[in-house]
Chain A
Amino acid sequence: KAGVTQTPRYLIKTRGQQVTLSCSPISGHRSVSWYQQTPGQGLQFLFEYFSETQRNKGNFPGRFSGRQFSNSRSEMNVSTLELGDSALYLCASSADNYGYTFGSGTRLTVV
């Protein structure tokens, strides 16, 4: 059974650019959540999608957005990148709002 797949694994972008990260959940999982980890911070909740609808949103600026497709794959987008957006971005999927399986993450560096 394939796990949660995040692409790309590493990314380097310049300030002001925008970036799109992808998350393919475990087959059959309809919930996809996104988290950010910056140095010295715990995992911070960005948003969650369920059946193509955003179900919950964390306390992040509007530059952070996401979407979910009919096959449950999800993308998150960050526009007008800032240095502080450099972080590890993790996604997690769930079939039942009980157990969550995480991907290996995308490490974004903004220079």
Chain B
Amino acid sequence: ILNVEQSPQSLHVQEGDSTNFTCSFPSSNFYALHWYRWETAKSPEALFVMTLNGDEKKKGRISATLNTKEGYSYLYIKGSQPEDSATYLCALHGSGNTGKLIFGQGTTLQVKP
């Protein structure tokens, strides 16, 4: 059974702090790693899809890195803002022939003004 682990489970930071979360996954059966941001009462919003070892992607103040050999990905938020408060999910995509994503439990970020 493939298991995706995210840490920490929750995080409280002050506005302006930079923060990072970890997503660990089995390095076998890897096709892609997805990151989503999920705000309460909204649909999960795609942040990044990463496929290559060493990949680094950036979207505004948010960036992510990928290490497929050791099975982890980091998500970084620089200068957190209250609007960054959300649950951040990572999901392992094991094969390009299927739409099955295996999600971690998520990291819930609360940014205090």
| A interface list, Cβ under 8 A from B | 3-4, 31-33, 35, 41-45, 48, 50, 55-56, 58, 90, 92, 94, 97-105
Contact = CB atoms under 8 A, between A and B. Distances in A.
A53 to B, nearest CB: 12
A31 B101 CA distance: 13
Interface in B1-56: 32, 34, 36, 41-44, 46, 49
Contacts, number: 62
Chain B: interface residue count, which band? 20 to 34
Contacts of A44: 103
Given A42-B106, A98-B32, A56 B43 contact: no
Contacts of A41: 105
A104 B43 contact: yes
Interface of B: 32, 34, 36, 41-44, 46, 49, 89, 91, 96-106
Contacts of A32: 99
A75 to B, nearest CB: 16
Contact of B99 (A3, A4, A94, A103): A94
Given A42-B105, A42-B106, A100-B34, A50 B43 contact: no
21 contacts: A31-B99, A32-B99, A33-B99, A33-B100, A41-B105, A42-B89, A42-B104, A43-B91, A43-B103, A45-B100, A45-B102, A50-B99, A55-B97, A55-B98, A58-B100, A97-B97, A98-B49, A99-B46, A99-B49, A100-B46, A101-B43
